[in-house]
Amino acid sequence: MNGIVLLILIVGLGLIAWAVSRMRALGFRRRLGTRISSLPHHHGWYVALWTAAPPLLFLAIWAATSPALVTDMVLGTPAAAQLPPPGFERAAILSEARALAAGRAHGAFHTLSRTLAPAYDAAQARVDWIATAVVLMLALAGGTYAYLRVRPDFSARTRIERVILGLLLGASLIAILTTAGIVASLLYEAGRFFSVVPITDFLFGTHWSPQVIDPRDPGASLGAVPLFWGTFFIGAVIAMAVAIPFGLLSAIYLTQYAAPRARRIMKPVLEVLAGIPTVVYGYFAALTVAPAVRQFAVSIGIDWASSESALAAGLVMGVMIIPFVSSMADDSLAAVPNAMRDGSLAMGATPSETITRVMLPAALPGVVGGVLLAVSRAIGETMIVVMAASGVATLTANPFASTTTVTRQIVDLLTGEAEFDSPKTLAAFALGLTLFVITLLLNIIALTVVKRYRESYE
Amino acid sequence: MSIPKITARNVSVSYGAKQAIDDISIDVDMDHVIAFIGPSGCGKSTFLRTLNRMNDTIPSARVSGDVRLDGQDIYAPEMDVVQLRARVGMVFQKPNPFPKSIYENVAYGPRIHGLANSRAELDVIVERSLTRAGLWNEVKDRLSESGTALSGGQQQRLCIARAIAVDPEVILMDEPCSALDPIATARIEELIHDLRGRYAIAIVTHNMQQAARVSQRTAFFHLGTLVEYGRTSDIFTNPKEERTKDYITGRYG
């Protein structure tokens, strides 16, 4: 509440600083009529930043530290002497008193919290007062300092540029730091898992049944090979058997044969496939494709075919990946210089000879890179397999049998009711880490291949 | 005057609404190299590309008029473009070897047209083509290396060898030396001298000294029309048209 008022105050002061310094800078221009290093609005922004940034920074730090400060103040009051020793009850009373003081709670469970509430009120008011005073002081000090530097020969422009550089750098760092944080948390949790289960049991064991774990030997039922196999089978074999031919052929048609008008219509339609939410693919797989696949299997004499077959999940996943493969192949074919195509056509080669003998070999590294990226997407795909693949880990190469995948198992493990530090739940992090490492490697290989290829034509 | 190999009569080409060349009539024969000269955008390359129907690859291009190869209308519906292009080869402005080995570059045409029955026959064709293109001695020990690893001049001679390998009757060259240094250019010019008589050759060039050195017939194009066409010696020493004179003396273009 108070924070919002302060924020508005800071922004208001910033606006005033902007307007005033801009006015002053406008005056320079009129008076001198000579070359100036910065435009009036540069000076405006410079002073506004100096006015608003320090108090904002202070507020950010204050928001993180002031609750502890308030609690310290409350503990210093005489009423706090009656509090029980540090522990769960003491924390509960304090948080209740805080809620009462802030008006978020109406009744209190502990009588003591009712006595402490006024102390909280007073402490909070003091802290808020300090914050307001510091904010005003910082804003005035910063604003005045910057305002005094506003002169015709002062280059506010380059300083604004530096601030923009800093902002851009900060924005990109946040994405990188988040990735690092995710990796760190995965590593930490996976490390806890591997302290219970030997890594060799996990990576090379062929028996996976996390529902029944023997506490004396948890590794015996946490062998992930069936999951890796199922993931590879559905994502890299069945899905790619659909996505590579259809994606590649459609790219060839669109780049080499289609009239400009056909291309204008067909390319966006194909790309719509990529925009369908994966959960929609999931129920399409589970409700439409899986029964059809089972029916087909039964009709050719395989009457034990599963209704959660690897084939159904893989087929739908392949369809989902088609636009991905197609657009990567499209880019690679388009990057082959037209001179190659003309050279071949001028030799009397037909369009299809030109494509198979010249265009595709030249575009191959790009196509391979695209396929690897598609594989890494397919094996990380979750929703389709959660809905259409089985939860039972079986080591089979029969497309009509049921198989499970790493992502499906992660979902199953984390939606159970087991406590958070059991080997069963921690296994999810080990699986996540493995998946992450594999897709990372695939992406690195794919991007290297694509990059090397691009360089050869520039 | 020898019997013409290609006769083009009243040829016009437009790209969409834009007229690129208008009413061009020229002959190409075996004994005389013919050079097409003129400022950029005058339509000389467009005309060259009508002679092997490479304009077909540009969807908006419309060709009218009559082009005959040995008296046969190459724009007739029954004309097989694949056969036509095997008979009328082309060398491009920028060397464009395929990203394959030197050997495979030259063997490409013979393979797709089924000219060799065995590997030994193919070897003979490759060696003969590279020899005629004046490249054999430089590459005979490294035929399996990539064609794109050669120098620019060597790449262009490889492209000429590639065109020769399918035993064409006509070779069209579209500014074949514009991306090359003077030494490589001189070698290509020598090569054109050597090839003359065996193939009918038409060459588009920006370089008037080059036209004077390599050709016996010259056609001067300007703004999509054929201004003057005759013996190279006449065009360069005694042009009939004022525009030709202005161009070859460097007054514009």
Kindly report which listed range (A57-71, A411-425, A435-449, B23-37) carries the lowest average pLDDT score.
Answer: A411-425
Question: Which residue carries 């506003």 as its tokens?
Answer: A150
Query: Residue B252 has what pLDDT?
Result: 64
Do A408 and A178 meet the contact criterion of CB atoms below 8 Å apart? Answer: no
Q: Which of residues 89-108 of B touch A (CB under 8 A)?
A: 89-90, 92, 94, 96-100, 108
Question: Averaged over A429-454, what is the pLDDT?
Answer: 86
| DSSP 8-state secondary structure symbol assigned to residue B3 | P
Q: Quick check: B74 pLDDT over 90?
A: yes
Are A309 and A405 found together in one domain? yes
- Rounded to whole angstroms, the Cα distance separating A203 from A430 reads 10
The domain that holds B29 is classified in CATH as 3.40.50.300
Residue A272 lies in a domain: yes
Check if A271 contacts B (Cβ < 8 Å): no
Work out the average pLDDT over A276-286.
91
As a whole-number percent, the residues of chain A with pLDDT over 70 amount to: 96
Number of folded domains in chain B?
A: 1
Pick from A282, A375, A366, A277: nearest CA to A330: A366
Q: Report whether A389 contacts A307 (CB < 8 A).
A: no
Domain that holds residue B229: 4-96+171-248
Q: What 3-state class would DSSP assign to A236?
A: helix
User: How does residue A403 score in pLDDT terms, banded at 50, 70 and 90?
Assistant: confident
Contacts of B173 in chain A (CB under 8 A): none
Q: Residues B118-168: pLDDT tens digits?
A: 999 999 999 999 998 889 999 999 999 999 889 999 999 999 999 999 999
In a domain, B108, yes or no: no
pLDDT at A84: 76
What pLDDT, on a 0 to 100 scale, did the predictor assign at position B253?
A: 52
The closest alpha carbon to A221, from A208, A203, A231, A234, belongs to A208
The mean-pLDDT minimum among A8-22, A184-198, A382-396 falls in A382-396
Q: Which of A339, A344, A361 sits opposite B94 (nearest CB)?
A: A339
Average pLDDT of chain B is 91
Burial of B71 (0-12, 13-18, 19+ CB in 10 A): exposed
B166 in contact with chain A, both atoms CB, cutoff 8 A: yes
Query: Edge-to-edge, what's the strand order for the sheet holding B61-69?
Result: B18-29, B4-15, B61-69, B72-73
Same domain, A136 and A224: no
Task: Tell whether B49 is covered by a domain.
Answer: yes
| Residue bearing tokens 């060459």 | B203
B1 to chain A nearest CA, in Å?
29
In a domain, B39, yes or no: yes
| A183 part of a folded domain | no
- Find chain A residues with C-beta within 8 A of B54's C-beta: 342, 345-346
Is the Cβ pair A346, B84 closer than 8 Å?
no
CA distance B51 to chain A (A): 11
CB A95 within 8 A of CB A156: no
Stretch B76-96: mean pLDDT: 92
Q: Report d(CA B145, CA B125) in Å as an integer.
A: 18
A346 to chain B, any CB pair closer than 8 A? The answer is: yes
Is residue A149 in a domain? yes
Separation of alpha carbons A226 and A408, rounded Å: 12
Contacts of B99 in chain A (CB under 8 A): 340, 361-362, 456
Instruction: Tell me the shortest Cα–Cα distance from A322 to chain B, in angstroms.
Output: 28
Question: Residue A72 falls within a domain, yes or no?
Answer: yes
A32 inside domain: yes
Contact B173, B180 (CB under 8 A): no
Mean pLDDT value across residues A162-184: 93
| Sheet containing B88-91: order of strands | B88-91, B170-174, B200-204, B34-37, B217-222, B225-231
Beta-bridge mates of residue B61: B15
Domain that holds residue A116: 2-154
Q: Which of A346, A350, A357 sits opposite B52 (nearest CB)?
A: A346
Which helix (H) or strand (E) segment holds residue B25: the answer is: strand B18-29
Burial A325-344 (b: 16+ CB within 10 A, else e): bbbbbbbbbebbeebbbbbb
Q: Is residue A171 part of a domain?
A: no
- In A, which residues are within 8 Å of B178 by CB distance? none
Assessment of whether the complete model's pTM goes beyond 0.80 = no
The answer, for B84 touching chain A at a CB cutoff of 8 Å, is yes
Q: Is B206 on the interface with A (CB under 8 A)?
A: no
Which residue in the set A260, A348, A362 is minimally distant from B109, CB to CB?
A348
The closest CB to that of B96, out of A340, A357, A456, belongs to A340
Last residue of a domain, one of A132, A154, A176: A154
Q: What is the pLDDT of residues A291-316, one digit of tens each?
A: 999 999 999 888 888 888 889 999 99
ipTM greater than cut 0.95: no
CB-CB under 8 Å, A341 with B99: no
Question: What angle, 0 to 180 degrees and rounded to 10, lies between the N-to-C axes of helices A111-149 and A40-75?
Answer: 160
Q: Are residues A219 and A314 in the same domain?
A: yes
- Check residue A253 and give its pLDDT: 93
| Helix, strand, or coil (residue B205) | coil
Residues of B in Cβ contact (< 8 Å) with A365: none
Closest CA of chain A from B210, distance in Å: 24
In chain B, residues with a C-beta closer than 8 Å to the C-beta of A356 are none
Give the total number of structural domains in chain A. 2
Nearest chain B residue to A258 by CA: give it. B59
Q: Per the domain annotation, does A422 fall within a domain?
A: yes
pLDDT for position A1: 46
Distance from CA of A370 to the nearest CA of B (A): 20
Residues of A in contact with B109 (CB under 8 A): 347-349
Q: Do A346 and B159 touch (CB under 8 A)?
A: no
Q: How far apart are CA A349 and CA A333, in angstroms?
A: 18
| A129 & A239 share domain | no
- Inter-residue contact B110 to B165 (CB < 8 Å): yes
Choose from B46, B57, B94, B159 for mutation: most chain A CBs within 10 A: B57
Residue A59 has pLDDT above 70, yes or no: yes
Residues 6+ apart with CB under 8 A from B251: none
Q: With respect to residue B164, please indicate whether it lies within any of the assigned structural domains.
A: no
Q: What is the pLDDT of residue A124?
A: 84
- The DSSP element (H or E) to which A90 belongs, if any, is helix A88-102
CATH of the domain at A224: 1.10.3720.10
Q: Considering all CA atoms of chain B, what is the largest pairwise distance in Å, rounded to the nearest integer?
A: 57
SS3 A208: strand
CB-CB under 8 Å, A347 with B162:
yes
Same domain as A116, residue A256: no
Quote the mean pLDDT of chain A.
86
Nearest residue of A to residue B90, measured between CA atoms: A346
Does B202 fall in a domain?
yes
Chain A from 247 to 266: CB within 8 A of any B CB: 259-260
- Rounded to the nearest angstrom, the minimum Cα separation between B9 and chain A is 22
Average pLDDT over residues B221-234: 92
- In chain B, residues 119-158 whose CB comes closer than 8 Å to chain A: 148
Q: Which of B59, B89, B148 sits opposite A259 (nearest CB)?
A: B59
CB pairs under 8 A between A and B: 68
A212 plus A130 within the same structural domain: no
CA distance A418 to A432: 18
A446 and A351 assigned to the same domain: yes
Cα A392 from chain centroid (whole Å): 29
Dihedral over Cα of A20, A25, A26, A32: its sign: positive
Q: Say what the pLDDT of residue A106 is.
A: 73
* Interface membership of B245 toward A (CB under 8 Å): no
pLDDT for the residue numbered A6? 86
By three-state DSSP, how is residue A184 classified? helix
The token pair at B172 is 């069209």
Give the residue, A414 or A453, on which the prediction is more confident.
Answer: A414
Cβ contact, residue pair A348, B57, below 8 Å? no
What gap in Å lies between CA A119 and CA A180, rounded to an integer? 42
Mean pLDDT computed over B210-237: 92
Spatial contact of A6 and A59, defined as CB atoms under 8 Å apart: yes
A171 contacts chain B (CB < 8 A): no
Instruction: Tell how far CA A258 is from the center of its chain.
Output: 37
Residues A144 and A223 in one domain: no
**Closest to A192 (Cα-Cα) out of A409, A419, A439:** A419
**Residue of A343, A348, A350 lying closest to B92 (CB–CB):** A343
Q: What is the pLDDT of residue A215?
A: 78
The pLDDT, as a whole number, for residue B66 is 93
**DSSP reduced 3-state for B27:** strand
Chain B residues near residue A260 by CB distance under 8 angstroms = 59
